[in-house]
């Protein structure tokens, strides 16, 4: 065959999915900027109010209306790519375009005991286990605490949780804090791990986390955290949790508009403090189930809106915080698997960047390491799907087909040996055995049985590179100082 040209030949590197057109993405963003100019938002932090006023906003008490032009400027100013590193200084996550990474979520009220199955309050050993399991799972890319630990000073559970995380994983961490004092403690601990604040700024393994309160309220703590992150050159996730029909309009489009408007306030303040501040938008966009009133983590509307916010964020060219691997189910069952798989696939198809809440069960109330282990398997499967089909001379295999001919087989062909491992995904938990073999060799084990066996093996055997004694002492000093500060605060409050 001679040389030839393929006219208008396009290659799909991955499967393609599109929820919103370019015009619809722009319409949602434009509507969000109109909300901020027309309706405005309430800001409860004096420093942030002053920053916005100097930036050209209209300030009337706590009510702030933001010119459309300022919103558009801030979006252009914010970086379109944010790189997070591991604690050893290696590049780990590049939050840009449609690159997708998965991790657990934070601050669950309850924890499912990995041995007894009991639903109980989290303790610090649970946080240590979460970090260890995340460190071991190959498809979990970053770490959150999956439960607020009890049994420590209440106002420092965030700091104690962060110490437990950095001591039991080397992966990047996304972490929350009660207030600015705790944000400083967490930043000091992170700086100690990598040898100083400048090293942390240059190669951050930590992204801070903050939430406004829907609709359109930005508490003193929430927005001040965006200011803190900007001043300290630390990436921050500024993300609302909007509930369609309750804290947001009952329409999916209206919920997206409101959520984008709330993220925009954090983006604007951070860029006014320091242009180029790395900030991640997004959030948990869900419905209030009108029968149970729960914030549903498994509804089709949840999956649809998570795809929608990812696409709008891509339009704005700002990295996006997605949500997946979660369920309204209370146990590791068919519902948990189905809802988790749907959300994990949707996150990948829509190109959400930093996808959290793997391991969330019971509509976000309970952290489950079993769910997290199962999610790891689902993510692995989705990654294979997202690789798509490679089309070239080798994969089209015309010569092999011609050689084998009609009625032959391909098992003994070198082409098969060269390609089947590259082309085929092999599960570690999902069962593909014939029935007799499944009963005899696997003892008739269910998916849940295999998940628990793998989880217990990780908890027993996985080893994490420990922190040096010098770093441990520096971290302990930060925590001790924080304990003294909180004790003094408690004394003053008691005198009043």
Domain ranges of the chain: 75-387
Residues paired with 479 in a beta bridge: none
Tokens for 12?
Answer: 């799909």
Question: What's the pLDDT score for residue 492?
Answer: 87
Q: Which residue has the tokens 């925009």?
A: 264
- Separation between Cα atoms, residue 193 and residue 41, nearest integer Å: 38
List the end-to-end C-alpha distance of the chain, in Å, as a whole number: 91
- Separation between Cα atoms, residue 100 and residue 344, nearest integer Å: 10
Hey, how many other C-beta atoms are within 10 angstroms of the C-beta on 290? 9
Question: What's the pLDDT score for residue 12?
Answer: 77
Q: What is the largest CA-CA distance in the chain?
A: 92
- Separation between Cα atoms, residue 175 and residue 169, nearest integer Å: 14
- Separation between Cα atoms, residue 316 and residue 263, nearest integer Å: 12
Taking the complete model, does pTM exceed 0.85, yes or no?
yes
Give the burial string for 378-411 (b: 16+ CB within 10 Å, else e). Answer: bbbbbeeebeeeeeeeeeebeeeeeebeeeeeee
How are beta strands 41-43 and 217-218 bridged, if at all? parallel
What own/partner pairs with CB < 8 Å and gap ≥ 24 does 194-198 have?
194/87, 194/89, 197/232
Structural contact between residues 427 and 381, judged by C-beta atoms closer than 8 angstroms: yes
Phi, psi (rounded to 5 degrees) for 122: -70, 150
Tokens for 75?
Answer: 């979006």
* CA-only gyration radius of the chain, Å: 24
Please give the average pLDDT of every successive group of 10 residues along the chain, which has 496 residues. 58 87 98 98 98 98 98 98 97 97 97 98 98 98 98 98 98 97 98 98 98 97 98 97 95 98 98 98 93 94 97 98 97 97 97 98 97 98 96 96 96 96 95 93 93 98 96 98 96 83
Tokens for 374?
Answer: 């199962």
Question: What's the pLDDT score for residue 16?
Answer: 86
Question: What's the pLDDT score for residue 1?
Answer: 41
Identify the CATH number of the domain defined by range 75-387. Answer: 3.20.20.480
| Secondary structure, 3-state, the chain | CCCCCCCCCCCCCCCCCCCCCHHHHHHHHHHHHHHHHHCCEEECCHHHHHHHHHCCCEEECCEEECCHHHHHHHHHHCCCCEEEECCCCCEEEEECCCCCEEEECCCCCEEECCCCCCEECCEHHHHHHHHHHHHHCCCCCCECCCCCCECCCHHHHHHHHHHHHHCCCCCCEEECCCCHHHHHHHHHHHHHHHCCHHHHHHCCCEEEEECCECCCEECHHHHHHHHHHHHHCCCEEECCEEEECCCECCCHHHHHHHHHHHHHHHHHHHHHHCCCCCEEEECEEEEECCCCCCECCCCHHHHHHHHHHHHHHHHHCCCEEEECCCCCCCCCCHHHHHHHHHHHHHHHHHCCCEEEEECEECCCCEEEHHHHHHHHHHHHHHHHHHHCCCCCHHHHCHHHHHHHCCCCCCCCCHHHHHHHHHHCCCCCCCCCCCHHHHHHHCCCCCHHHHHHHHHHHHHHHCCCCCCCHHHHHHHHHHHHHHHHHHHHHHHHHHHC
CA distances from 315 to 56, 278, 319, 354, 455 (A): 25, 17, 10, 16, 39
Give the chain's length. Answer: 496
Tokens for 114?
Answer: 């990995």
CA distances from 211 to 218, 221, 246, 487 (A): 8, 9, 17, 27
Question: What's the pLDDT score for residue 3?
Answer: 54
């Amino acid at each position: 065959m001679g040389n030839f040209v393929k006219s208008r030949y396009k290659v799909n590197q991955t499967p393609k999915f599109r929820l919103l057109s370019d015009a619809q993405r722009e319409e949602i963003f434009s509507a969000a900027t109109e909300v901020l100019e027309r309706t405005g938002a309430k800001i409860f932090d004096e420093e942030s109010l002053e920053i916005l006023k100097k930036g050209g906003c209209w300030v009337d008490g706590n009510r702030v209306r933001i010119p459309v032009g300022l919103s558009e400027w801030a979006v252009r100013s914010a970086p379109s790519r944010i790189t997070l590193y591991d604690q050893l200084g290696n590049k780990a996550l590049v939050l840009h375009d449609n690159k997708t990474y998965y991790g657990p979520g934070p601050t669950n009220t309850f924890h499912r005991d990995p041995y007894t199955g009991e639903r109980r309050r989290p303790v610090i050993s649970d946080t240590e286990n979460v970090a260890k399991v995340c460190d071991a799972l190959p498809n979990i890319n970053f770490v959150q605490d999956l439960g607020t630990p009890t049994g420590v000073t209440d106002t420092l559970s965030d700091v104690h949780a962060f110490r437990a995380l950095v001591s039991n994983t080397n992966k990047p961490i996304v972490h929350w804090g009660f207030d600015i004092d705790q944000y400083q403690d967490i930043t000091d601990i992170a700086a100690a791990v990598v040898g100083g604040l400048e090293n942390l700024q240059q190669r951050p393994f930590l992204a801070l986390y903050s939430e406004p309160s829907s609709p359109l309220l930005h508490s003193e703590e929430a927005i001040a955290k965006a200011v803190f992150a900007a001043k300290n050159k630390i990436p921050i996730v500024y993300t609302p949790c909007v509930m369609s029909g309750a804290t947001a309009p009952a329409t999916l489009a209206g919920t997206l508009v409101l959520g984008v408007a709330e993220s925009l306030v954090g983006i604007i303040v951070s860029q006014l403090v320091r242009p180029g501040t790395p900030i991640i938008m997004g959030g948990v966009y869900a419905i209030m189930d009108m029968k149970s009133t729960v914030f549903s983590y498994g509804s089709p509307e949840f999956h649809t809106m998570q795809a929608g916010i990812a696409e709008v964020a891509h339009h704005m060219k700002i990295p996006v915080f997605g949500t997946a691997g979660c369920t309204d189910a209370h146990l590791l069952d068919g519902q948990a698997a189905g809802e988790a798989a749907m959300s994990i696939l949707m996150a990948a198809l829509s190109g959400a960047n930093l996808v959290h809440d793997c391991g969330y069960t019971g509509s976000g109330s309970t952290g489950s390491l079993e769910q997290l282990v199962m999610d790891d398997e689902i993510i692995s499967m989705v990654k294979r799907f997202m690789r798509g089909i490679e089309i070239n001379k080798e994969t089209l295999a015309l010569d092999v087909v011609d050689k084998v001919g009609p009625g032959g087989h391909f098992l003994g062909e070198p082409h098969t040996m060269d390609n089947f491992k590259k082309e085929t995904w092999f599960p570690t938990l999902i069962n593909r055995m014939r029935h007799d073999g499944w009963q005899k060799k696997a003892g008739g084990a269910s998916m849940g049985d295999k998940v628990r066996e793998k989880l217990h093996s990780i908890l027993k055997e996985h080893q994490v590179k420990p922190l040096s004694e010098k770093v441990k002492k520096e971290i302990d000093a930060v925590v001790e100082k924080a304990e003294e500060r909180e004790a003094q605060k408690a004394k003053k409050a008691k005198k009043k």
